[in-house]
Structure 1
Amino acid sequence: MSIKSFAAKIFASYIRKKIDRWASNPHETQDKVFRELIKKANHTKFGKEHNFKEIHSHSDFIKNIPIRDYEELKPYVDLMVEGQEDILWPGKPLYYAKTSGTTSGAKYIPLTKESMPTHINAARNAILCYIEDTGKSKFVDGKMIFLQGSPELDEKNGVKLGRLSGIVAHYVPAYLQKNRMPSWETNCIEDWEDKVYAIVEETVKEDMSVISGIPSWVQMYFERLIDKTGKKVGEIFPNFDLFIYGGVNYEPYRSKFENLIGRKVDSIELYPASEGFFAFQDRQDEKGMLLQLDSGMFYEFIKADEFYDEDPKRLLLKDVEVNVNYVMIISSTAGLWAYNIGDTVQFTCVKPYRVIVSGRIKHFISAFGEHVIAKEVEEAMQEAVKETGAAISEFTVAPQINPEGEELPFHEWFVEFEQEPVDLNKFAEIIDKSLQKQNSYYLDLIEGNILQRLKVTRVPQNAFQDYMKSIGKLGGQNKLPRLSNDRKIADKLKEII
């Protein structure tokens, strides 16, 4: 065992104990975070306008601070981007994480000197918890690759801005710099396809032990490696034993990845976003990710099926239940207040608090009142893949409201197969039955002859990549929506097909 590997085990044990302390005292931890946030931002423009001096409880907070999404918080952010100080948080931000918005163009999410370390520490702690949980630390001696956006940053009125993954690249600890790949020059390549080819050339002869990124883009990297060498990824990298991912559910990809690698490898799921690093998988044998309660974030939750009510109830952590779909609302040291990040989560347990990401509040299918969510379609796909031995590269779902002739409407599943099932009808039937079992509204619509059984449309190889490229979102942190309530993606895919 190397000195670095030995030291990692000692440090992992220390960090695990720190995490266990706040995880075992969740409500006291969150109350402390709440009070510190209010106190710190008391004299900001936002704090003055929202009576922070009068806020002493969660009920006071609710009375004074309505839930907002980015578009509603944008007037304050615009003042910050113009160069003004003490708007949402004391002083100026360290960075803006620039993302693409839906209705407001580019979004500038502030990262402050208080919030920035939480992104770094959570990613580090995820790896340390894995070491403590499994006893495996040999991988720290090998090479590690993080597929991410360009670390080149722009500047706006004295504040640097760029993609979150590119900003985080500036904070890689010194002890990992020798192991980290790809090179800075390769990481700066903007065109994703060129970048992947360059990464393949740099890494193909290295001793890779950890690979990290969004599964769909890591899959492209694996396929390019195999194209170049004719070997499985596990043969190219015999010491590759840990895959770290976030952004999408890995389960639909797992069998495909195991085929590309040639064997099983351990994995760690992360829940990062520009607005904060919310959770990470801390135990290999537990479902869900440990919610970060001591990272400068105060959480509220609203039941997803009540979210669009006139006055939905805002719940504290102590009020949540397992297996209920919640919209997660955050207030943070980045100056985001009662902020709707757009994600829905479900708690898998409450001692400690672990979550899974169940989807996006705006990403669902409810063309007929069924309100099918991402978690349901992913679980249904996982069942079909497992039962039929099929392997998929990617998929998305859309409603077909106006089918041809006298047909009933249906859900159309666009699937890019790596290995097609022997019986496609059986594959579709398994998915449909799983959805009926998970979603009573969908079941009622099928039984009431409002909807017919779903249909699977085969998508040719690389069609999803072509689609993402056509909208300028190939690679990086960009993710294909699992499902949509309209046919914008579906119609574009039909054109490609």
Structure 2
Amino acid sequence: MSVKTFGAKLFAKVIKSQINKWANNPVETQQKVFKQLVNTAKETKFGKDHQFNKISNHKDFIDQVPIRDYEALKPYVDEVTKGEENILWPGKPLYFAKTSGTTSGAKYIPLTKESMPTHISGARNAILNYIAETGKANFVSGKMIFLQGSPEMEEKNGIKLGRLSGIVAHYVPSYLQKNRLPSWETNCIEDWETKVDAIVEETLPENMSVFSGIPSWLQMYFERLVEKTGKKVGEIFPDFDLLIYGGVNFEPYRTKFDSLIGRKIDSIELFPASEGFFAYQDKQNQPGMLLRLDAGIFYEFIKTEEFFEENPIRLTIGEVEKDVNYVMIISTNAGLWAYNLGDTVMFTSVKPYRVIVSGRIKHFTSAFGEHVIAKEVEYAMKKAVKEHGIEISEFTVAPQTNPPEGLPYHEWLIEFEGEPKNLDIFAQSLDKYLQEQNSYYLDLISGKILKPLVITSVKKNGFQEYMKSIGKLGGQNKIPRLSNERKIADALHQQL
């Protein structure tokens, strides 16, 4: 056993003990975070505007602080980006994580000296928790890679800004620097396809043990490795032991990854975002990710079916239930207050609190009142792919409300690795599994309001070409699983 492996195991035991302490006291932990956040920010402009000095409990907070998305919080963020101090959080942020916005264009998410360490500890603790659970630590002596954005940063009124993954690259601990790939120069390449080719060249001669990134972009990298060598990834790198991923549900990709790698390996799912590092998989044999309740984030949850009501009920951690879809609302030590992240989650466990990401509150299909969400289409795809023994690269779903003839329907645009022997039978399987998940959809099909779903095959690399065409190839960008309009669907049809 190497010194590094031995040290990792000892450190893992310490961290695991700390995790157990807060995970076993969830309500008390969240109450402590809540008080710290409000007390720390009461002299900021936001704190004064919302009378933080009069807030002593969650009810007071609800009365004083309405739910906001980025667009609603933007007037405060604009003051911060101008260099003003003490607006959302004491002082100035260390960084802005620049992300793609909607109506606001680019979004600038503040990262403070209090919040930045929680992004680093989230990834670290996910790995250490895995070591503590499994006893496996040999991978720490091999080379590790995280497919990420460029670490180069700009500056805005004295505050550095960049992509979150690029900012995090500046915080890789010294004991991992020699193990980490790609090189700084390769990481700075902006063109994603050029970057992936460079990463292939850098990693092929190395003893790679850990790969991490968004599944769709890891898949692209693995495909390039297989194309270049004619070998499975697990054969190219015999010490490849651990896959770390986040950003989207992995299940639709699992069959394809098993094929590319050529053998089963352990994996860790993460739930990171520019706004916070929220959760990580803490058990190999149980679904869901452990929600980080001690990381400077106070959580509120609203049932998705109530979210668009005038005064939806805002629940705290002790009030949530399993198997219910919630919109997750956060208040953080980066100065986000009752902030609608846009993600929907479902608890798979409440002892401890584990979540899965079930979708986006803005990403759904409900052109006919069915309100189909990402979790449901991903479940249907997982079951159908397994039943038919096929592989897919990517997919998205959109409504077709005005077909040239016949009833409207859901269109599934799928990039297959090899089409099913009978596409119609595969479509029937998908439709059956979606009906199992969503009773409204079942009723619409049964009542002849909709006809069963229709599959459109997307050409190889069609999704990559679409992302490239809108300037979002690579990095942390990902295809929405479904939408309520046809912008993506129509763009993909233009390739046919």
Instruction: Calculate the TM-score normalised by the size of structure 1.
Output: 0.99
Q: 1:301-347: per-residue Cα shift (whole Å, max 9, x none)?
A: 00001100011010111111111000000000000000000000000
SS at match of 2:494: helix
Q: Which residue does 1:222 correspond to in 2?
A: 222
1:314 aligns with 2:314: yes
Q: Which residue does 2:481 correspond to in 1?
A: 482
Q: Which residue does 1:340 correspond to in 2?
A: 340
Q: 1:361-406: per-residue Cα shift (whole Å, max 9, x none)?
A: 000000000000000000000000100001000000000111112x
Q: Which residue does 2:437 correspond to in 1?
A: 438
1:465 aligns with 2:430: no
AA partner of residue 134 (structure 1): T
Alignment of 1:243-322 (within 5 A): 243-322=243-322
Q: Which residue does 1:404 correspond to in 2?
A: 404
Q: Which residue does 1:236 correspond to in 2?
A: 236
SS at match of 2:345: strand
AA partner of residue 243 (structure 1): L
AA partner of residue 104 (structure 1): S
AA partner of residue 149 (structure 1): G
Q: 4+ residue stretches of structure 1 with deviation over 6 A? A: none
Counterparts of 1:448 and 1:432 in 2: how far apart (Å)?
A: 15
Counterparts of 1:82 and 1:124 in 2: how far apart (Å)?
A: 33
Counterparts of 1:437 and 1:217 in 2: how far apart (Å)?
A: 31
Alignment of 1:45-444 (within 5 A): 45-405=45-405, 407-444=406-443
Q: Which residue does 1:30 correspond to in 2?
A: 30
SS at match of 1:485: coil
Q: 1:440-496: per-residue Cα shift (whole Å, max 9, x none)?
A: 100110010000100111111000000000000000000000001000000000001
Q: CA deviation at 1:419?
A: 2.3
Q: CA deviation at 1:105?
A: 0.9
Counterparts of 1:85 and 1:459 in 2: how far apart (Å)?
A: 49
SS at match of 1:419: coil
Gaps of 5+ in 1: none
SS at match of 1:103: coil
Counterparts of 1:205 and 1:481 in 2: how far apart (Å)?
A: 35
Counterparts of 1:254 and 1:194 in 2: how far apart (Å)?
A: 26
Q: 1:85-112: per-residue Cα shift (whole Å, max 9, x none)?
A: 0000000000000011000011000000
**Kindly, what percent of the aligned residue pairs are identical?**
73
Q: 1:199-248: per-residue Cα shift (whole Å, max 9, x none)?
A: 00100111000000000001110111111111111111011011000000
Counterparts of 2:106 and 2:485 in 1: how far apart (Å)?
A: 23
SS at match of 1:496: coil
SS at match of 1:414: strand
SS at match of 1:285: coil
SS at match of 1:222: helix
Q: CA deviation at 1:138?
A: 0.3
Q: CA deviation at 1:278?
A: 0.3
Counterparts of 2:61 and 2:307 in 1: how far apart (Å)?
A: 18
Counterparts of 1:494 and 1:276 in 2: how far apart (Å)?
A: 36
Q: CA deviation at 1:430?
A: 1.2
AA partner of residue 489 (structure 2): A
Aligned pair count reads 496
Counterparts of 1:7 and 1:403 in 2: how far apart (Å)?
A: 62
AA partner of residue 54 (structure 1): K
Q: CA deviation at 1:286?
A: 1.1
Q: CA deviation at 1:77?
A: 0.5
Counterparts of 2:229 and 2:397 in 1: how far apart (Å)?
A: 35
Counterparts of 2:436 and 2:257 in 1: how far apart (Å)?
A: 28
Q: CA deviation at 1:264?
A: 1.0
Q: CA deviation at 1:357?
A: 0.1
Counterparts of 1:226 and 1:431 in 2: how far apart (Å)?
A: 30
Q: CA deviation at 1:135?
A: 0.8
Q: CA deviation at 1:425?
A: 1.5
Counterparts of 1:45 and 1:106 in 2: how far apart (Å)?
A: 23
SS at match of 2:364: coil
AA partner of residue 448 (structure 1): G
Q: Which residue does 1:8 correspond to in 2?
A: 8
Counterparts of 2:314 and 2:256 in 1: how far apart (Å)?
A: 40
Q: 1:159-206: per-residue Cα shift (whole Å, max 9, x none)?
A: 100000000000001110000000000000000000000000100111
Counterparts of 2:38 and 2:130 in 1: how far apart (Å)?
A: 34
Counterparts of 2:401 and 2:157 in 1: how far apart (Å)?
A: 48
